[in-house]
Each structure stands twice: as structure tokens, then as C-alpha cells.
Structure 1
Amino acid sequence: MNNIDWSQLRKAEDIKAETEASRLAPLIAAETQWAEQERKFAGEQLEAIEDGESVAGTEREWRDYRTQVRAWKLGAAGYPDSNLRPARPI
């Protein structure tokens, strides 16, 4: 008689993937929060430009930055390494 439930068998590759997902989860959460804050900030900069205020960077640079931040998500090159985030216009 066999008492092993083979449906519960976990493969090494599955365990490795679960471990990697657990390791990345806090990094992904931090990057998601950062991206939300940056999208809001970029929107505020664009609004200031529309109102004629002086800000660092041009309207085009802020729009491009906002697009880059929006693309900063799982699957993006370097994600979720915070050192590789898009850089704000100067």
C-alpha cells in the first residue's frame, strides 16, 4: 500500500520560484508605492507648467518621465532594482 499523496509533491523548480517570489514581494511593493508617488508628482509638475510656474525640466521631459514611471513594473528591464528607476527631469 502506498501512503504518498503524489499530488502534494513539490518540484525543486517550484520551490525555487516560490522562494524568489517571496524575496521579491517587498521590493515589488516598495516600487509600486514609489511609482504611484512619482506619477502624482509628475502630474503636479505638469500642472505647474500649465499654470506658468517655473519647474525643473520641460513639459515634454515630464510627460516622458511619467510614461517611463508608468512602465516601471514587473517585466521592465531591471525591475524591481531601485537603482535602475527612471530619473526625474533636472
Structure 2
Amino acid sequence: MSGNIDWSQLITKAAKDAEVAAAERAAAVQIEDAWRLKETAFIADQLIGIEDGDPAALPGTEAEWRAYRTKVRNWKEGAQFFPDLTHRPIRPA
């Protein structure tokens, strides 16, 4: 062994921090993708409930739920603030 340091193998704090941030973002993306799929199914049920006059349907008109569905479908990679769950689309009230 020559005792020389291979500086190309050096791992910096910045590199470690970037790796942690990337892993956290990947986990957040998975959570938001799963939420989007679940919420899309929920919206479909709501629209059927509204169409059928179901008293158990949540508040909101058909147009409001359709507009919400569009926002939910667009909540994916490339959307502003995605995957920050505090910026998810909000259900009609």
C-alpha cells in the first residue's frame, strides 16, 4: 500500500445530504402517487353518488368534483410544489 489518498473516493457532507434529500423526495413521490390513485377512485364514487342522488355524497356540485378531479390528475411530477403534501388539491366543500 502506497499510503496515497484516492480523493475521487471522498464523500462530502454535501454529497451525503443530497443523497438523503433524494431518498426523502423519492419516498414523498411514492406517497403522493398512491394518494392520487386512491383519491381518483374516491372522486369517481362521489360523482356516481351525485349522479344517483345519494344522500351520503359529500358536499359539492358535479362541476366542482370534476374540476377537483382534474387538479388531482395533474398532481404529479412536474406540478408546482409536488410532492409537498401541504399543496395537494383540496376537496370541494
Q: TM-score, normalised on structure 1? A: 0.76
Shift of 1:83: 0.3
Root mean square deviation of aligned Cα: 2.0
Residue in 2 aligned with 1:67? Answer: 70
Q: Using the alignment, how far apart are the partners of 1:73 and 1:58 within structure 2?
A: 25
Is it true that 1:41 corresponds to 2:38 in the alignment?
no
Shift of 1:52: 1.3
Structure 2: runs of 5 or more not aligned: 1-5
Q: Using the alignment, how far apart are the partners of 1:76 and 1:18 within structure 2?
A: 22
Shift of 1:41: 0.5
- For residue 44 of structure 2, give the secondary structure of its aligned residue in structure 1: helix
Report 1:1-90 matches (<5 A).
20-54=21-55, 55=57, 56-90=59-93
- For residue 46 of structure 1, give the secondary structure of its aligned residue in structure 2: helix
Shift of 1:35: 0.5
- For residue 79 of structure 2, give the secondary structure of its aligned residue in structure 1: coil
Shift of 1:53: 1.7
Q: TM-score, normalised on structure 2? A: 0.74
Shift of 1:67: 0.6
- For residue 63 of structure 2, give the secondary structure of its aligned residue in structure 1: helix
Tell which structure's C-alpha radius of gyration is larger: 2
Q: Using the alignment, how far apart are the partners of 2:63 and 2:31 within structure 1?
A: 27
Structure 1: runs of 5 or more not aligned: none
